[in-house]
Structure 1
């Protein structure tokens, strides 16, 4: 399974990826500072959005892309590694 994480903290990027690998998920991480995130998502099986660390415009762009491509979206306010683990565990 391939998932995309939008938002979060730069310093936790490696931890997010390691937590996803432990769950058997290939994770693309976009911390929200990138431009045109939707173009870089590709065909992810799941999009997780940490809403407290991303702009409204970026969130809107990602949700529209996911909806157009029938990709499930999980929106979570917290941006911790444990929150990511819980989100991945609920989808498996």
Structure 2
């Protein structure tokens, strides 16, 4: 499975990737500071948005992209590694 994480903290990027990898998920992480996120996302099976750490413009861009391609989106307010683990386990 391939997932994309939008938001989160820069310092936790490696921890997010390792947590996903331990569950068999290939994870791309965008902290929300990148320009044109949707052009870099590819075709993930799931998009997770940490809403507390991403701009409104980035969230809107990602939601429009996911909706146009029928990609499921999980929007979560918290941005910890355990939150990511729980989100991936409930998939």
Superposed CA deviations along residues 10-52 of structure 1, whole A, max 9, x for unmatched, are 0000000000000100000000110000111100000000000
Count of paired positions: 91
**Structure 1 segments of 4 or more deviating over 3 A?**
none
Q: Give the Cα–Cα distance (whole angstroms) in 1 for the partners of residues 23 and 77 of structure 2.
A: 21
Shift of the alpha carbon at 1:4? 0.1
Structure 2: tracts of 5 or more residues without a match: none
Aligned with 1:3: secondary structure? strand
Q: Aligned equivalents of 1:57 and 1:80: distance in 2?
A: 22
Say if 2:85 is the partner of 1:85: yes
Match of 2:41 in 1: 41
- Aligned position for 1:72: 72
Q: CA deviation at 1:80?
A: 0.0
Cα distance in 2 for residues equivalent to 1:56 and 1:33: 12
Structure 1 portions without partners, runs of 5+: none
CA RMSD of aligned residues (A): 0.3
